[in-house]
Homo-oligomer: A and B are copies of this chain.
Amino acid sequence: MEFYYYTLLAGVIAIIYALFAAYITLKKDEGNKKMQEIANAIKAGSKAYLNRQLKTIAIFAVILAILFLFLPDGYEITIAFLTGAIASYLTAYLGMNVAVRANVRTAKIAEKGTNAAFKTAIIGGSVTGFAAVGFGLIGLSLLIMYLTISKVEILIGFGFGASLVSLFARVGGGIYTKAADVGADLVGKTELNLPEDDPRNPAVIADNVGDNVGDCAGMSADVFESYAVTLVAALLIAYAYGISPTSTINFAYPLYVAAIGVISSLLALLFINVKGENATLAIYKGIGSAVIIAAVLDFTLTWYLSLPLAYFYSVLSGLILAILLFWITDYYTGSGKKAVVKVADAAKGGGGTDVIMGLAVGLRTTWFPAVIIAIAIFVSYISAGLYGIGIAAAGMLSLTATILTIDSFGPITDNAGGIAEMAGLQEDVRKVTDKLDAIGNTTKATTKGFAIGGAALSATALFVAFAQAVGLSSIDALNSIVTIGIFIGAMMPFIFSSFLMEAVGKAANLMVEEVRRQVKTIKGLLQGKAKPDYARAVDIATVNALKSLVIPELIAILTPIAVGLILGREALGGLLVGMIPSSFMLALFMANSGATMDNAKKYIEAGNFGGKGSDAHKAAVIGDTVGDPLKDTAGPALNSMIKVVSTISILLAPLFIAYTLL
């Protein structure tokens, strides 16, 4: 029992820090009336979305919770499930509520220069980061101590709760943010020639809300999920190996690695700062210091507890994987990089060649992540067997607080820029917010690489836990029932993302029509004499995001259940085998194609190949539009999908063992 006091303590420390950071943020000056007015509109829209999304999730959650009661240990599973779901939503809620307040404060303090604004945004973002690890560690520690000490399998309920929330938050947030963004750009920039974040654009508030519900709440739910399910998977694998939760520290090792992550992430905060304009360097310093501190502490812990050093090697391979994923994403998609310039150059031939080249770059970016994740899996496996894979994933995800801090920095600065623009702040303030916004774009892209890699690694650990849960000691690809599963699994990410792309396309079109309607019917709108009806645009994005959720969610949840019940656990194992790598590649392809085309557009806007307004720029804008749902909707949502499929497969394992049609 006492093993878990320390991990509980680490969780409490993280929450205390998060509350402290929230307090510091809220104390800052929130600017003049106009700024507050705009910020309040964003705040209200974001909150309204999160509340309505909660209702949709609640329906699913209640139905599932009731069904779970019929499982063996149903009562405990339901408690674990609801704990996981609530922890995830609390994280998103707390994080986003601070983010929508940090944005205006960042805009205000930008008067004092880049450094002050940078710090404000980072501290605001760190609330999400530390809330995630705090709620995760507290939830898991309490569950182990008071509920599952004798039935560890129940913990998967916690993972599935996190997965369910993540599925909704990622998909809904992703559709919302891009429907608003694409819709706002299509009419605003192209038809009406308005600049980004112009207050006369009726969709501008919806666009800023989208940053919060997508990049902040959606991303935090995704990474929280990876964090939760990775730790659960590692614990389940350990348990299956006969490591007891009460008698040996071995079992708690993954949680200790996570606890160390809290410490290293706290210390790493000291190293995240921006000097000059090198955004990438600021990120590297943050991640780099977190990795180095974690590695040193993990080594010390392993040695101090006299555990096999092989455990440490597994952790280390996860940590190194994380930093290499950062590097490669930046290498291909970072602003001004070779691949980005190539895409910008192709824009000279028009929108078609821009997209062709953008897709080519996205496809290219898969090779290195595939190779290094394979190496990480292999190294951890030969170090500590299948358990090693779980520990490696725990090592990688122990960086969660740092990653989410850096990531949430993005929507805060993006919003700050929007508020500065809409409130008509001075030129030099807007220069500062623009600079931060550019940094935020880089951090969003690189943390996405981490989220995709983290999802793939934790899904691989879940796959191992699944095999143990359903009692399979091998999953043989030469068995045709497994082959069927593999084909279906490899297909799932494609059909899933198809619905998301379509949802964005449709919702963006509705947004376009609404903007056109307002421009036509509201007199004096374009002259800045009348205010647009922001709320209508916000409502359209909200309603359509929530409506488009349902089918992809059902596909993700029902397919593994159907395969498990009809074709059996071996086919379901095959499904996971086919799904995880296929989804990993597709997500990388989509996310990085989008990021490259986005930065190619910015490269041209910076004055290259004809600059703003040139034909090349118009072509690059088309590429950016295509890239938007690829990188912010479909690509990231795949992370949630593969984890929800994996956790539900484990959760319902008793069912698949007991009943199968074939």
Choice from B357, B377, B475, B585 contacting A502 with Cβ under 8 Å: B357
With a cutoff of 8 Å between Cβ atoms, the chain B residues found around residue A361 in the complex are 498
With a cutoff of 8 Å between Cβ atoms, the chain B residues found around residue A366 in the complex are 491, 494-495, 498
With a cutoff of 8 Å between Cβ atoms, the chain B residues found around residue A349 in the complex are 186, 505, 508-509, 512
A278 adjacent to chain B (CB < 8 Å)? no
- CB pair B377–A501 under 8 Å, yes or no, is no
- The 0/1 profile, CB within 8 Å of B marked 1, for residues 485-501 of chain A is 01111110011011101
Q: A350-B186, A495-B363, A581-B578 are in contact. Are A374 and B626 (CB under 8 A)?
A: no
A480 adjacent to chain B (CB < 8 Å)? yes
Q: How far is the CB of A274 from chain B (nearest CB, A)?
A: 33
- CB pair B370–A490 under 8 Å, yes or no, is yes
- CB pair B501–A360 under 8 Å, yes or no, is yes
Choice from B350, B363, B629 contacting A622 with Cβ under 8 Å: B350
Closest to A361 in B: B498
Measured CA separation A124–B273 after assembly (Å): 70
- CB pair B363–A501 under 8 Å, yes or no, is yes
A167 adjacent to chain B (CB < 8 Å)? no
- CB pair A491–B367 under 8 Å, yes or no, is yes
Measured CA separation A349–B629 after assembly (Å): 15
- CB pair A501–B582 under 8 Å, yes or no, is no
Choice from B190, B585, B623 contacting A582 with Cβ under 8 Å: B585
Interface residues of A in 546-590 (CB under 8 A from B): 573-574, 577-578, 581-582, 584-585, 589
Q: A360-B505, A573-B477 are in contact. Are A488 and B350 (CB under 8 A)?
A: no
- CB pair A370–B487 under 8 Å, yes or no, is yes
With a cutoff of 8 Å between Cβ atoms, the chain B residues found around residue A622 in the complex are 350-352, 355, 622
With a cutoff of 8 Å between Cβ atoms, the chain B residues found around residue A367 in the complex are 491, 494-495
Q: How far is the CB of A541 from chain B (nearest CB, A)?
A: 16
- CB pair B577–A477 under 8 Å, yes or no, is yes
- CB pair B464–A478 under 8 Å, yes or no, is yes
- The 0/1 profile, CB within 8 Å of B marked 1, for residues 613-656 of chain A is 00000000111111001100000000000000000000000000
A302 adjacent to chain B (CB < 8 Å)? no
Measured CA separation A652–B247 after assembly (Å): 51
Q: A360-B502, A497-B363 are in contact. Are A490 and B584 (CB under 8 A)?
A: yes
A299 adjacent to chain B (CB < 8 Å)? no
Q: How far is the CB of A391 from chain B (nearest CB, A)?
A: 13
- CB pair B350–A190 under 8 Å, yes or no, is yes
- CB pair A356–B505 under 8 Å, yes or no, is yes
Interface of A is mostly: helix
- CB pair B186–A353 under 8 Å, yes or no, is yes
Measured CA separation A101–B84 after assembly (Å): 69
With a cutoff of 8 Å between Cβ atoms, the chain B residues found around residue A381 in the complex are 480, 483
With a cutoff of 8 Å between Cβ atoms, the chain B residues found around residue A502 in the complex are 357, 360, 364
How many residues on chain A are close to B (CB under 8 Å)? 84
- CB pair A186–B360 under 8 Å, yes or no, is no
Q: A505-B356, A578-B581, A626-B356 are in contact. Are A467 and B478 (CB under 8 A)?
A: yes
Q: A371-B488, A486-B577, A487-B373 are in contact. Are A474 and B478 (CB under 8 A)?
A: yes
Closest to A388 in B: B480
Measured CA separation A512–B629 after assembly (Å): 30
With a cutoff of 8 Å between Cβ atoms, the chain B residues found around residue A364 in the complex are 494-495, 498-499, 502
With a cutoff of 8 Å between Cβ atoms, the chain B residues found around residue A375 in the complex are 484
Closest to A625 in B: B352
- CB pair A498–B377 under 8 Å, yes or no, is no
Interface residues of A in 367-391 (CB under 8 A from B): 367, 370-371, 373-375, 377-378, 381-382, 386, 389
A346 adjacent to chain B (CB < 8 Å)? yes
Measured CA separation A498–B366 after assembly (Å): 10
Choice from B464, B475, B486, B505 contacting A353 with Cβ under 8 Å: B505
Measured CA separation A625–B356 after assembly (Å): 8
- The 0/1 profile, CB within 8 Å of B marked 1, for residues 376-409 of chain A is 0110011000100100000000000000000000
Measured CA separation A225–B3 after assembly (Å): 61
- The 0/1 profile, CB within 8 Å of B marked 1, for residues 292-315 of chain A is 000000000000000000000000
- CB pair A353–B182 under 8 Å, yes or no, is yes
- CB pair B378–A484 under 8 Å, yes or no, is yes
Closest to A578 in B: B581
- CB pair A490–B352 under 8 Å, yes or no, is no
Name the residue in A190, A504, A508, A585 with the highest tally of chain B Cβ atoms < 10 Å from its Cβ.
Answer: A585
- CB pair B626–A355 under 8 Å, yes or no, is yes
Q: How far is the CB of A276 from chain B (nearest CB, A)?
A: 34
- The 0/1 profile, CB within 8 Å of B marked 1, for residues 175-193 of chain A is 0000000100010001000
- The 0/1 profile, CB within 8 Å of B marked 1, for residues 456-481 of chain A is 00001001100100001111111111
A359 adjacent to chain B (CB < 8 Å)? yes
Q: How far is the CB of A514 from chain B (nearest CB, A)?
A: 13
- CB pair A386–B504 under 8 Å, yes or no, is no
Q: How far is the CB of A491 from chain B (nearest CB, A)?
A: 4
- CB pair B484–A374 under 8 Å, yes or no, is yes
Measured CA separation A559–B583 after assembly (Å): 21
Name the residue in A374, A386, A482 with the highest tally of chain B Cβ atoms < 10 Å from its Cβ.
Answer: A374
Q: How far is the CB of A179 from chain B (nearest CB, A)?
A: 11
Measured CA separation A647–B509 after assembly (Å): 48
With a cutoff of 8 Å between Cβ atoms, the chain B residues found around residue A476 in the complex are 474-477
Q: A349-B509, A374-B487, A483-B377 are in contact. Are A363 and B494 (CB under 8 A)?
A: yes
Measured CA separation A495–B592 after assembly (Å): 13
- The 0/1 profile, CB within 8 Å of B marked 1, for residues 139-169 of chain A is 0000000000000000000000000000000
Extra A-B contacts (6), CB below 8 Å, given A366-B498, A378-B483: A352-B623, A355-B622, A378-B480, A382-B480, A490-B582, A577-B577
Residue pairs across A and B with Cβ atoms less than 8 A apart, 5 shown, are A186-B349, A351-B625, A360-B498, A366-B491, A486-B577
Which 10 pairs show the lowest CB-CB distances between chains A and B? Answer: A352-B625, A363-B498, A490-B581, A381-B480, A370-B491, A360-B501, A374-B484, A364-B498, A360-B502, A474-B476
